[in-house]
Each structure stands twice: as C-alpha cells, then as structure tokens.
Structure 1
Amino acid sequence: MYKASLERMEDKIKTFSQYGDAGHGGITRYTLSEADIQARNEFRKRMEAIGATIEIDDVANMYATLPGSDPNAKRIVMGSHCDSVRNGGNYDGILGVMSAMEVLETVAEKKIPHKHPLTAMIWTNEEGSLYPPAMMSSGIICYDYLPDEIKTGFKYEDMMNSKSVLDPQVTFKDALDKSGFKGDKKYRLTPEKYECYFETHIEQGPILEDAGNDIGVVDCVLGMFNYTLKFYGQTTHAGTFPMPKRKDAFYAAAQALLYLHKTIDALGHPELVYTTGEVQCHPNVHTCVPDYYEFSFDCRHESPELLNQVLQIVKDCANKEWAGCTCEVEKAWNRDTVYWNKTLVGYVKESCEELGVSHQYIHSGAGHDAQFAAYVLPTTMIFVQSKDGLSHCEPEYSSPEHCTEGASVMLNAVLKVDERGL
C-alpha cells in the first residue's frame, strides 16, 4: 500500500488558499477570474514539474497526464473544480484537484509502476456562481450522454451566452476567450480515451464526523426534484384593509410551508431532506399586503418511490385554498439517483481497509461533476470528513490528515484499477 505526503498536502492547501483569499479565512474564486487563473497556473506549474503533459479543451477543462507503460491503455482520470462560491471555503472542489495532483506526485516520486496513463483534471465552472448553471462544463462535455431532461439545460450556445450575475454585459464566452485557457475540443474527456473517473471531495455534511469515521465510501448521488410553489392573492393597503378580508399571499405561503413540513415529516423518513431556499414577494413593500409570493422546494432521497410520494404532497397544494389565495405548482427540474460503478466503489472500500482508515458507505446529497461523468465513464467518489459538517462558507475545514487520507485511498484505488481493470 502507498501513502500520500502529508507535507505536500499541507503545502498545497496553504498555497491554493491564497488564490481568491477573501480575508476572512476563506476564498471567493469565481470561474476564469484572476484568482481562478492563478490556481490553474499553479496546477500547471506543479504538474509540469513532475513530467505531466498539460492539455486544455475548448471549455477550459485542464488535463495533466503522466504516461503509463502501456501506450494503448486508456487514461484513469481524477479531478474536481477549483472555482468557489462567494465567500466559500478552501476545500470544496479544490480538494479533489489537490488529491489528484497528490496521486500523480506520489506516483512520480516513488516511481510506482503503472500501465495506464494517469490524469489529474480541473473542471471549469462547477459552482456556476458567476455564470449559471452549476456543473456547466461537465454538462457540455457529457451532453451527448445525458438523459434528455438534463440535456435541455446544457446546450452549448446557451452556456456560452450565460451572463455574469455581476455584469450582464459579460458572458461566459467573453470570459473564456479572455482567459487564455480556451483550448481544443479534441482534448475533451471521452470514453474512447478514458477508462474511468475518480473524484475526492469534502463530505459537506456532519455524518462522517458524527459517526467517528474519516472517509466516506460514496455509492451514489441522491435523486432529487425542484419545484416552485406560487401563491396569488390581492394587494391592499397595509393600514386600511381589514384583516378578515385580506388575501395575503405571503401568509398563504407560510401556511402551505407549515403543512408541507408537518405532512412530509409524518412519513417517518429522517434521511429525507428538503429545503425552501429561494423566495420572491410582490410588491415587496412594507405598506402593501403581498399579492404574490413564491418559494422553491428542493427534495432529495435515494428512493424514487419516496420522492414521488413527497411530490404528490407538494402537487396537492395546488388543489387547496390557502388563506383565500390560490396556488400553482410548477416543475423546475429533477434528476434520478446516479449510482457509482460497483467495482470502483469496492476498490475504494478495499483501499480504506488496507490502509486502516475508518470509513463507511455514504450517499452524496450534493451534485458534483462526477454525476455527469458517470453517464460517460465508470465513476466513483471519495468523501473526506468535514469539521462540523460546514461547507460553502468560510469556516469550512477538513484537516490535512483527513485530506491526505482521502488522497491515499484514491491513489490505492486507482492502482487497483490499473492492475485488475474493471
């Protein structure tokens, strides 16, 4: 068994945390921004230093490859993203890049024999923080393999024309053309050139820490649906219209939300998660009774049967009157549970056992580039414990020891693929 270098991992964490340093312990590193380009150049420098060849595709995904002993063998690729949310942490996404780098660095340093070329990869614009949507470039690269209901959101021209949330005059294409990282389509990840895909990531939740385990052997990304509930009432003056006669859309939405929580919780599935994260209110004036209110409803679970059961509860809101207001329920999007390749999952678990690393099976509730890659290549993920379960915020933290363990597990799982195949 081989182990990654704690010293190198600590150095990478420290170095990459400088690019987009927000001054409060975290980073803001929008895709193709100056900070993102700094991180990409650091990746290039370190990978070229160990003899890796750098390739960049037409949407700025970067591939650093160490050759293997078999010139006809497909590449084994490992990767994640280096962009962040605003005021995010130093581990989400970039840990997968640093772990992939560490695998290549360890192989080069220890001269570990391997047949397959080994590739460390950076995906472009996973977060979609500046140019929506999330997982943009993996959606583009994997487009031909995606289910039809997902494809519609990742048409190439639409993605190129995605407008910056900070400056609508600037598109993703503008940033791509200016970045110096627009490469050639021939370098894209394809099943003809690549054998399988690994992604190491922080857990982004408290399950591993609560259980006292360091590593999550991920078996799937949960299925989910996202709907919008819209409530229609009547605007009146806040100071003059009698309470019993009001049709307050905000109040109606509040009643419906309480109903949803009570009814869904009564199903008795504590592992089911759902969130109301986005709202709109009209006219949004303190002297006016709201005539319109909407909220998003995001629900996630492995079981399609349970998701459908919850969805019927959500849809039923449209058949009820809420405080004198009407309700419409509108689909935004949904996805089925994406299961990882069982052989790769087995290699990850076996590597944990051989390294003596505490571990458990775990689902991913969050979306990752890996879920799109899974439609193209055999894929799996490895989770590293997150302190207090925090992510997408500046206190986000995974210890260097846990990060190094994650890289060591991936290294040995990759070597099992190289030796035994799929």
Structure 2
Amino acid sequence: MYKCSLERMTDKIETFSKFGDAGHGGITRYTLSPEDNLARKEFVKRMEAIGAVIETDDMANMYATIPGSDPDAKRIVMGSHTDSVMNGGNYDGILGVMSAMEVLEAVVEQKIPHKHPLTAMVWTNEEGSLYPPAMMSSGVICYDYLPEAIRGKFKLEDMLQSKSILDFKTTFGEVLDKSEYKGDKANRLSPEKYLNMFEIHIEQGPILEDNKKDVGVVDCVLGMFNYRLKFYGQTTHAGTFPMPKRKDAFFAASQALVYLHEEIDKLGYPELVYTTGEVICHPGIHTCVPDFFDFSFDSRHEDPAVLDQVLAIVKSCADKTWAGCTCTVEKAWNRDTVYWDEKLIGYCEEAAKETGVSYQLIHSGAGHDAQFAAYMMPTTMLFVQSKDGLSHCEDEYSTPEHCTSGATVLLNAVLKADQAE
C-alpha cells in the first residue's frame, strides 16, 4: 500500500487558503474571479512541476494529466472545485482538487506503476454562488446523459446568460469569454476518453466525527425535492386594523410550518431531513400586515417512497386555509437518489482496510459534480471527517491528518481501479 504526504497536504491547505482569504479564517472565492484565478494558477504550477499536461475545455474546466504505461488506455479522473460560497471555508471543494493533486504527486514521487493516464480535474462554478445555478459546469458537460427532469435546467445558452447576483448585469458567459482558462470543447470530460471518476470531499456533517471514523465511503447522493409554499392574505395598516379581521400571510405561513414539522416528524424516519431555507415577505414594511409570504421546502432521503409521503403532507397545505389565507404549493425541482458504482465503492473500502484508515459507509445529503458525472461513467466519492460537522462557513475545518488519510485511500482505490481494467 502507498501513502500520501502529510507535509505536502498541509502545505497545499495553507497555500490555497490564501486565495480569497476573507480575513476571518475562511475564504470568498467566486468562480473565475481574480481569487479563483490565483488558485487555478497554483494548480497549474504544481501540476506542471511533476510533468502533468494541462488542458482546459470550453467551460474552463481544467485537466492535469500524467501518462500511464498504456498510451491508448482511458484516463482515470479525480477532482472537485476551487470556487467557494461567500465567507466559506478552506476545504469544501478545494480538498477534492488538492487530494487529486496529491495522488498525482505521490505517483510521480514514488514512481508508482500504473497503466491508465491519471487526471486531476477542476470543475468550474460548482457552488453557483455568483452565477446560479450550483453545479453549472458539470450540468452542461453531462447534459446529454442527465435525466430529462434535470437536463432542462442546464442548457448551455441559458447558463451563459446567468447573471451575477452582485450587479444583476454581468453574465457568466461574459466572464467565461474573458477567462484565460476557457479552452476547447474537445477537451471535455467524456466516456470516450475517461474510464471512471473519483471525488473526495469533506463530509459537511457530524456523522464521521460522532462515530470516530476518519473517512466515509459514500454509497449514494440522496434524492430530494424542493417546493415553494405561497400564502396569500391582505395588506392592511399595522396599527389600525383589528386582529380578528386580519389575513396575515406571515402568520399563516408560520402555522403551516409548524404543521409540516409535526406531521413529518410523525413519519418516524431518523435519516429524513427537511429545511425551510428561503423566505419572501411582501410588502416587507413594519407598518403593514403582510399580504404575501413564500417559503422554500427542501426534503432529502434515499427512498423515493419516503419522499412521496413527505410530499403528500407538503401538498396537503394547499387544501387548507391558514389564518384566513389561501396557500398554493409549487414544485421548484427534484432529483432521484444517485447510487455510486459498486466496483468503485468496493475499491474504496478495500483501500481503507488495507491502509488502516477507519471508515464507514455513508450517504451524501449534499449535491456534488460527481453525481452528474455518474450518469456518464462509473463514479464514486469519499468523505473526510469535518470538525463539528460545519461547512459553508469560516469555521469549516478538517485536520491535515484526516485530509491526508482521505487522499491515501483515494490513491490506493484509484490504483485498484487502474489494475482492474
């Protein structure tokens, strides 16, 4: 069994954390921003130093490849993204890039024999923080392979017109055209050129830490749905209109939310999660009773039958009157559970056992670029323990030791995939 370098991994973590340093222990690194370009330049510098060939495609995805003993063999690719959310952490996304780099560096340094070319990849705009939606580039690249329910969201022409959430004017296409990393469409990830894909990521939750496991071998990305619940009332003056006569849409929504929690919790599924994360209130004036309130409802579980039960409860809100207000329930989008390739999962388990890294099987509740790639080629993921389960915040942290252990498992799993075909 081969091992990755703690010293090298620590150095990469420290170096990449400087690109977009927000001054509070985390980063803001929007895709194709000057900060992101610094991270990309560092990726190029380190990969060229070990003799990797750098390619970019038309979505500015980056590929650094070292050759294998068989020049005709398909590549094995590893990677993730360099961009972050606003005031995010130093591990989400970038750990997958650093780990892929570490695998290539270890192979070159230790002269590890391998048949297939090995590629470290950077996906563009996974977060969608500045230019929505999330997983934009992987959605475009994998477009022809995606289920119909997902595909329409990622039409290239629509993605290029996505506007910055900061100025609502600059488009992703404009920034992409100006980027030095925009390359040739022929360089895109494809099943004709690539054998399979691995992505490593921080867990973004507390399960591995709670169970005292270093690494998670991920078996699937949970299915989910996202709906909007909209409540319609009547605007009146906050100081003059009697309480019994009001149709307060905010109050109506609060009653419905309590109802949702009570009824869904009665289902008794411990792994089921659901969230109200975005709200809209109109007119949003402290002297006015709200006449409209809209909230998102996100629910995730592996079993579609469980999600169907949750959805029935959500839809039932439209059949009721809430504090004198009507309610509509509208679908935003959904996805099915995506299962990883069983052979690749097996290689990850074997690698963890043989390297002595503690692990457990685990689901992913969050979306990742790999889930779109899974429709195109055999794909799997690994998780690394997250301190206190925190992510998408400046307190996000995984120890260099856990990061290196994850990279070591990745390295040996990739070598097993290399030897198998």
The TM-score, its normalising length taken from structure 2, stands at 1.00
Q: Name the counterpart of 2:336.
A: 336
Give the unaligned 5+ runs of structure 2: none
- Tell me how far apart the structure 2 counterparts of residues 318 and 420 of structure 1 sit (CA, whole Å): 54
Q: Name the counterpart of 1:169.
A: 169
Q: Name the counterpart of 1:260.
A: 260
Quick one: which amino acid aligns to residue 148 of structure 1?
E
Deviations 1:85-121 (CA, angstroms, capped at 9, x unpaired): 0000000000000000000000000000000000000
> 2:300 aligns to what SS in structure 1?
strand
Q: Name the counterpart of 1:220.
A: 220
1:399 aligns with 2:399: yes
- Tell me how far apart the structure 2 counterparts of residues 335 and 364 of structure 1 sit (CA, whole Å): 13
Q: Name the counterpart of 1:141.
A: 141
Q: Name the counterpart of 1:296.
A: 296
Runs of 4+ in structure 1 displaced over 6 angstroms?
Answer: none
User: Where do 1:222-237 residues align within 5 Å?
Assistant: 222-237=222-237
Q: Name the counterpart of 2:54.
A: 54
Q: Name the counterpart of 2:245.
A: 245
- Tell me how far apart the structure 2 counterparts of residues 392 and 169 of structure 1 sit (CA, whole Å): 26
> 1:307 aligns to what SS in structure 2?
helix
Give the unaligned 5+ runs of structure 1: none
- Tell me how far apart the structure 1 counterparts of residues 244 and 270 of structure 2 sit (CA, whole Å): 37
Deviations 1:289-344 (CA, angstroms, capped at 9, x unpaired): 11100100000000000000100000010000101100000000000000000000
Q: Name the counterpart of 1:10.
A: 10
Q: Name the counterpart of 1:157.
A: 157
> 1:107 aligns to what SS in structure 2?
helix
User: Where do 1:10-409 residues align within 5 Å?
Assistant: 10-409=10-409
Quick one: which amino acid aligns to residue 343 of structure 2?
T
- Tell me how far apart the structure 2 counterparts of residues 277 and 321 of structure 1 sit (CA, whole Å): 23
- Tell me how far apart the structure 1 counterparts of residues 352 and 68 of structure 2 sit (CA, whole Å): 25
> 1:256 aligns to what SS in structure 2?
helix
- Tell me how far apart the structure 2 counterparts of residues 190 and 269 of structure 1 sit (CA, whole Å): 38
> 1:296 aligns to what SS in structure 2?
strand
Structure 1 residue 401: deviation in Å?
0.2
Structure 1 residue 72: deviation in Å?
1.2
Structure 1 residue 169: deviation in Å?
2.0
- Tell me how far apart the structure 1 counterparts of residues 284 and 167 of structure 2 sit (CA, whole Å): 24
Quick one: which amino acid aligns to residue 215 of structure 1?
V
Work out the number of aligned pairs and report it.
421
Deviations 1:167-219 (CA, angstroms, capped at 9, x unpaired): 22211011111121110000000000000000000000000000111100100
- Tell me how far apart the structure 1 counterparts of residues 102 and 361 of structure 2 sit (CA, whole Å): 24
Deviations 1:255-276 (CA, angstroms, capped at 9, x unpaired): 0000000000011112100000
- Tell me how far apart the structure 1 counterparts of residues 117 and 410 of structure 2 sit (CA, whole Å): 15
- Tell me how far apart the structure 1 counterparts of residues 351 and 110 of structure 2 sit (CA, whole Å): 18
RMSD (Å), alpha carbons: 0.5
Quick one: which amino acid aligns to residue 361 of structure 1?
L
> 2:149 aligns to what SS in structure 1?
helix
> 1:127 aligns to what SS in structure 2?
coil
- Tell me how far apart the structure 1 counterparts of residues 281 and 166 of structure 2 sit (CA, whole Å): 22
> 2:201 aligns to what SS in structure 1?
strand
> 1:255 aligns to what SS in structure 2?
helix
Quick one: which amino acid aligns to residue 403 of structure 1?
C
> 2:332 aligns to what SS in structure 1?
strand
- Tell me how far apart the structure 2 counterparts of residues 130 and 371 of structure 1 sit (CA, whole Å): 21
- Tell me how far apart the structure 1 counterparts of residues 163 and 353 of structure 2 sit (CA, whole Å): 47
- Tell me how far apart the structure 2 counterparts of residues 169 and 295 of structure 1 sit (CA, whole Å): 26
- Tell me how far apart the structure 2 counterparts of residues 179 and 363 of structure 1 sit (CA, whole Å): 36
Quick one: which amino acid aligns to residue 34 of structure 1?
P
Deviations 1:44-77 (CA, angstroms, capped at 9, x unpaired): 0100000000000001000000000001110000
- Tell me how far apart the structure 2 counterparts of residues 179 and 37 of structure 1 sit (CA, whole Å): 9
Q: Percent identity?
A: 76
Quick one: which amino acid aligns to residue 223 of structure 1?
G
- Tell me how far apart the structure 2 counterparts of residues 401 and 31 of structure 1 sit (CA, whole Å): 28
- Tell me how far apart the structure 1 counterparts of residues 408 and 395 of structure 2 sit (CA, whole Å): 25
> 1:41 aligns to what SS in structure 2?
helix
Quick one: which amino acid aligns to residue 182 of structure 1?
K
- Tell me how far apart the structure 1 counterparts of residues 179 and 15 of structure 2 sit (CA, whole Å): 21
- Tell me how far apart the structure 1 counterparts of residues 114 and 359 of structure 2 sit (CA, whole Å): 26
Quick one: which amino acid aligns to residue 366 of structure 2?
A
- Tell me how far apart the structure 1 counterparts of residues 403 and 225 of structure 2 sit (CA, whole Å): 31
